[in-house]
Amino acid sequence: MGENDTDQLLVERVQQGDMHAFDLLVRKYQHKIVALISRYINDWSECEDVAQETFLRAYRAMGGFRSESRFYTWLYKIAVNTAKNHLVSQGRRPPTEDVAFEDAEFGDSGRSLRDNATPEHELLRQEMEQTMFSAVQALPEDLRLAITLREVKGMSYVEIAAYMHCPVGTVRSRIFRAREAIDSSLGPLLGDQ
């Protein structure tokens, strides 16, 4: 079974109400979508927000997806439009040319990697990594476990709830509080970025 066939099966399951199938699509494409959006928006946290909005829009529009194109082609278009709309809403001008689909499809992020491959960026990356590690270690056990299961293990909220023997709402709250604590630790390093 090819990648397109797998995507099509997952799309059909989502259209029948299977949220786990949508989680699988998100996990499969989230890095590609964030990388694509980073070609339009330089701020990493904004890229993540726009990627999340992209997946929300895709989920809402999933009922209208008719498989006339590949799922990633459809998602790519949603991501580009969402990134442009975000820039316009912030009073910034979107680029006049879109990222070539081939670049987005095959993950050609060489240009953005070259732009950021400086000693200063590497030092900042190392500082952020250490700060994030320390922030996670400082979390209360329930928050640390929830965020680790989500971000490291890639488990869904439902899976985490079953693992931790608590309601999904509690899992969402714990992950939100953990992310908030980590973000506040990273804030001084990010400054105005």
Kindly give the confidence (pLDDT) of every residue in the chain, 193 residues in length, as a single tens digit, with 9 standing for 90 and above.
Answer: 666 778 889 999 999 988 888 999 998 898 889 888 888 888 878 888 999 999 999 999 998 888 788 899 999 999 999 999 988 887 877 665 555 545 444 444 444 444 444 566 667 767 877 888 888 889 999 999 998 888 877 788 999 999 999 999 999 999 999 988 888 887 777 664 4
| Domain ranges for the chain | 3-115, 119-190
Span 3-115 CATH architecture: Orthogonal Bundle (1.10)
- 118 — phi, psi (to 5°)? -120, 160
Which of these, 150, 131, 143, lies nearest to 177 by C-alpha position? 143
Q: Do domains 3-115 and 119-190 have the same CATH topology?
A: no
The tokens describing 66, both together, are: 């008719």
Torsion angle (degrees, nearest 10) of CA 95, 101, 102, 107: 80
CA dist., res. 143 & res. 48, Å (int): 21
According to CATH, what is the number of the domain 119-190? Answer: 1.10.10.10
CA dist., res. 11 & res. 191, Å (int): 40
